[in-house]
Amino acid sequence: MSTLSRTASELFWMTRYLERAEAMARLVEMGRRMAMLPSDRETAADEWRSVIAASGCAPHFEGRAVDERAAVLGLITDRENPSSIVSCFDRARQNARSVRTALTTQSWETLNEAWLKLGDLTEERVLRELPQTLDWVKGRCAQFRGAADATMLRDDRYDFGRLGIFIERADMTLRLLDVKHFVLLPETEVVGGGRDRHQWTSVLMATSALRAYHWAYRGDYSPWRIADFLILNHSCPRSLAYCYDEIIGVLDRLARAYGARHPCHHTATETVAMLADIDIGEIFHDGLHEFLIGAVARNNRLAYEIGAAYHF
């Protein structure tokens, strides 16, 4: 079993970009929710700035005045921003077009149709119909994942696509937690108040995990629990632990198919073992922020090692 290195790379990035587009939609949703709280203009701008920081698009907004309109358009329709939703779709579709033969017709048509519809996303329309637009984006990404899931052969190509999804998702969850880590710190519990509570729920909203959280923790909004849920809970599909369960599963499959293990296998195994050993108390004790930036770096290293192992 082997596949063209470029094909592996394009599939890996295609799913990463789609995952990113979806994460962007969730982040904008979170920002909107925060902005609906009564507050002064400066606080509202701060909320949008934290959304931008979590999106990793800060360089794009540097030196620009940030308000809701600028943030929403910059994160959704601006092609100058390489991580805007429209840019992500452009790039995912470009990746897909380069490896069309590696996709099933249904997967390709789903993505291509979504891309063709991007033309309808005018600025005016996005601002007027923001919730519908964000739902549409999430729907399309889900539809693509579904099409791929239902039709793609379970071979190494599929695996490279899966790796892209979970590397990106882990990265997004970690960065979101880091941006909001100050509201999750124990001392803020003392401060309490409606605004903080709203912050926590918004983090859960941004990961589409609010209802799941209710089921798991029965509406107990303690920051510890929220961090636990998004980092260590294996049943939360956006948690770091879950992403790494998926990653290690895929990497093991690849190792069996290719008959070889590489440094990326080692790195992923280490991370999984580390997540199994640690509890949320230790993480807070050693510093949540330090833990998060360490995990982001480790995730980046894994992505690099995967490329090196499979020659892309």
Strand (E) positions, 23-167? none
The single-letter code of the amino acid at 221 is Y
Residue 5 lies near other proteins (rule: CB under 8 A): yes
Work out which of 37, 73, 112, 127 binds other proteins, going by CB under 8 A.
112
Q: Which is nearer to other proteins, 136 or 258 (CB)?
A: 258
Spatial separation of the C-alpha atoms in residues 151 and 109, rounded to whole Å: 12
Spatial separation of the C-alpha atoms in residues 170 and 149, rounded to whole Å: 20
Residue 161's nearest CA partner among 310, 15, 312 is: 15
Residue 4 lies near other proteins (rule: CB under 8 A): yes
Please state, as a whole number, how many other Cβ atoms lie within 10 Å of the Cβ of residue 257.
13
How far is C-alpha 90 from the geometric centre of its chain's CA atoms? 18
What residues contact 159, with CB distance under 8 A and at least 6 apart? 250, 253, 254
Work out which of 43, 67, 79, 105 binds other proteins, going by CB under 8 A.
105
Work out which of 13, 48, 61, 108 binds other proteins, going by CB under 8 A.
108
Work out which of 37, 70, 73, 94 binds other proteins, going by CB under 8 A.
94
Q: Closest separation between CB of residue 100 and other proteins, Å? A: 4
Q: Which is nearer to other proteins, 76 or 250 (CB)?
A: 250
Residue 100 lies near other proteins (rule: CB under 8 A): yes
Work out which of 7, 81, 84, 173 binds other proteins, going by CB under 8 A.
7
* Integer-rounded Cα radius of gyration of the chain: 19
Contact positions toward other proteins, by CB under 8 A?
1-8, 94, 97-101, 105, 108-109, 112-113, 116, 156, 160, 258, 310-312
